[in-house]
Amino acid sequence: MSTWTTLRPLLPTVFVPSAVFGIGQGAGSPVIALTARDLGASVGTAGLVVALVGLGAVLGDLPAGRVVARFGERRSIIAGSLIGTFGVLLSLVAWTPAVLALGALLTGVSNAVWGLARQSYLAEVVPSEMRARAMATFALMWRLGFLIGPFAGALVILAIGTRGGFAVQLAGVIVSGYLMARVPDPPRTHDAPAGGVPLSTILRRHRHLLATLGTGSLLMGAARAAREAALPLWADHIGLDAASASLVFGIGAACDLLCSYPAGQLMDRYGRRFIAVPSLVIIAVSYFALPWSHDIRTIGVVAVVMGIGNGFGNGVIMTLGADIAPPATRAEFLAAWRLTHDFGMFAGPLVAGAAATVVTLGLAISALGLVSISGAAVMYRYIPRFAPAPGRSAPTPVRT
């Protein structure tokens, strides 16, 4: 039986909702800062409002595990969709920057609950030998939606103004939530503690794993997220106009998409380390090369390299989390695991921006290369080794 035949039942229940959700996020993200500026916020305040989406995801990771463990994936999806709907509505009608900030924060919380529920569902229903392909496909569909989203948002913006992006995002949250909420919770093959386990207990119980491999997850999150700040900032530094910078970023995003599914196939065949480490090394090379680019051609080459590195990293963190999560407390552990990566995603662009105010932009970007290399080293050291099981090509874990 082919991979696609096995994963096909997940198309209407997971993959299509992920793409729809990504379309909404892609439409809404570019207009947050613009709306803040329209409401009278300074450039710095507008940047802070954008960052609150990431902060909301970090804060949402804290209770998300217990929510999913106690109420199940389906009801958690409904709850996350309701929170997201309220957050986007606030953004759509915001009359002050503070109201917009609250909307952005709630949207981030919704993303955390939604993301954990979907990851937990995939970890439960997909066989381990196909787990990486399922996670990579999930990430691919979200990124495809995120790529389409700005174009869909632009059409609505032309009709009703800047906040049209939020209108598309609102539709995306509602439709994707409806599609996934129709699916019953998967049957549990293990006995979970009644009422779930507090996050503090999970952090204490798995402190060594989270302090080692979790550090790799954090560094990978920071390295991947910081590119969204580094590439546009350097494009501006060398004098590219906004259209050219967007073109460069789009080329990198296309390479990112093309590499996502092959990465899942390679992970299932050769193990997680086989993809995670080269992904971060390639991203590091792109950061070290970026300060040497001086025109649209050379920065375009760097964007391609960066996109390839990031694309091969798609699904790595979700797959690793599903691999190492204890079945009885899967949701709670995944919440702690996602917290490490989401914190890195939140901190990466902020640290990059702050570093650029202290040292030259080129040095700040090179420092991101060191962050990427450090992440690769940690991943190489702490990702469990895998070996092919007899009679199949998919890997099984080997104790280290």
| More confident site: 329 or 386 | 329
CA angle 68, 72, 76 (to 5 degrees): 60
Please tell me the predicted confidence (pLDDT) of residue 243. Answer: 61
307 contacts 184 by C-beta, under 8 angstroms: no
Task: Concatenate the DSSP letters of all residues of 211-256 into one string.
Answer: HHHHHHHHHHHHHHHHHHHHHHHHHHHTT--HHHHHHHHHHHHHHH
* pLDDT above 70: residue 220: yes
Q: How confident is the model at residue 311 (pLDDT cuts 50, 70, 90)?
A: confident
Q: How confident is the model at residue 326 (pLDDT cuts 50, 70, 90)?
A: confident
Ordered domains of the chain (ranges, CATH):
1-186 (1.20.1250.20), 198-400 (1.20.1250.20)
Q: How confident is the model at residue 193 (pLDDT cuts 50, 70, 90)?
A: low
**Which residues touch 12 (CB under 8 Å, ≥6 apart)?**
179
Q: How confident is the model at residue 279 (pLDDT cuts 50, 70, 90)?
A: very high
Average pLDDT of 19-46?
78
Average pLDDT of 51-71?
79
Q: How confident is the model at residue 267 (pLDDT cuts 50, 70, 90)?
A: confident
Q: How confident is the model at residue 400 (pLDDT cuts 50, 70, 90)?
A: very low
* pLDDT above 70: residue 142: yes
**Separation CA 344–CA 348 (nearest Å):** 6
Average pLDDT of 28-34?
75
Q: Helix, strand, or coil here: 96?
A: coil
Q: How confident is the model at residue 269 (pLDDT cuts 50, 70, 90)?
A: confident
221 contacts 348 by C-beta, under 8 angstroms: yes
* pLDDT above 80: residue 182: no
Supply 383's token pair: 């990702």
Please tell me the predicted confidence (pLDDT) of residue 397. Answer: 44
Please tell me the predicted confidence (pLDDT) of residue 386. Answer: 56
pLDDT one-digit tens code per residue, 224-240: 888 877 777 788 788 87
* pLDDT above 90: residue 124: no
**Separation CA 176–CA 29 (nearest Å):** 17
Q: How confident is the model at residue 393 (pLDDT cuts 50, 70, 90)?
A: very low
Please tell me the predicted confidence (pLDDT) of residue 14. Answer: 80
